[in-house]
Amino acid sequence: MAKFQSLSDTEMKVMKEIWKMNRPVKSNELLTIFYEKEGKEWKGQTIATFLSRLVDKGLLSVKREGRANTYIPRLTLKEYKKKEAQSMLDTMYQGSLKNFISTLYENEITSDELDELKNWFADK
């Protein structure tokens, strides 16, 4: 994955379903899942557009199987969250964890949360 790009809400929904399945997936499977779960009657082109964006963003790879594509996750949810957090830290806080935490502290972090952070850092 070159430059990190955050996911839209719908892209994240699609990825969460793929991560839950924990295997390569075809677009028609996702169409069924979203219809059954949310009553969304997406057209094939709609899901294809989201999957294409996810391929472009580096979260999925695609394998052609006959006339259908199979989509394979390139990152786990944990890996994605780490990249998203690092991107936010770099963008908003110049890569400084201290700047990020001080922003939280200014916004009334509780003493329990502060103790948890101290203990967490002490264990690292």
In a domain, 24, yes or no: yes
Residue 2: predicted pLDDT: 54
Alpha helices in 57-106 (DSSP H): 77-93, 97-106
- Specify whether 57 is located in the same domain as 84: no
Q: Are residues 106 and 52 in the same domain?
A: no
71 pLDDT exceeds 60?
yes
Residues 6+ positions from 121 with CB-CB distance below 8 Å: none
Name the residue range of residue 86's domain: 77-123
Q: What is the mean pLDDT of the chain?
A: 89
Q: Are residues 13 and 64 in the same domain?
A: yes
**1 located within any domain:** no
CATH code for the domain in which residue 33 is found: 1.10.10.10
Residue pLDDT, tens place only, 22-34: 999 999 999 999 9
The residue whose two tokens read 């955050």 is: 6
What does the pLDDT read at residue 102?
Answer: 81
Q: Within this chain, do residues 101 and 54 fall inside the same structural domain, yes or no?
A: no
* Statement: the pTM of the whole predicted model exceeds 0.75: yes
HSE (CB half, 13 Å, CA atoms) of 111? 0
The count of domains in the chain is 2
Angle value at C-alpha 103, between 97 and 108, nearest 5 degrees? 130
Same domain for 64 and 89, yes or no, is no
Tell me the percentage of the chain whose pLDDT exceeds 70.
98
CA distances from 73 to 4, 23, 57, 111 (A): 15, 8, 11, 39
Whether 56 and 101 map to the same domain: the answer is no
Please tell me whether residues 82 and 101 are part of one structural domain: yes
Please say if the pLDDT value at position 94 is more than 60. Answer: yes
89 falls within a domain: yes
Give yes or no: residues 89 and 113 share one domain: yes
For residue 85, what are the contacts with CB-CB under 8 A and spacing of at least 6?
Answer: none
DSSP state of 95: T
Q: Looking at 58, 73, 88, which one is the last position of a domain?
A: 73
pLDDT in tens, 13-64: 999 999 999 999 999 999 999 999 888 888 889 999 999 999 999 999 999 9
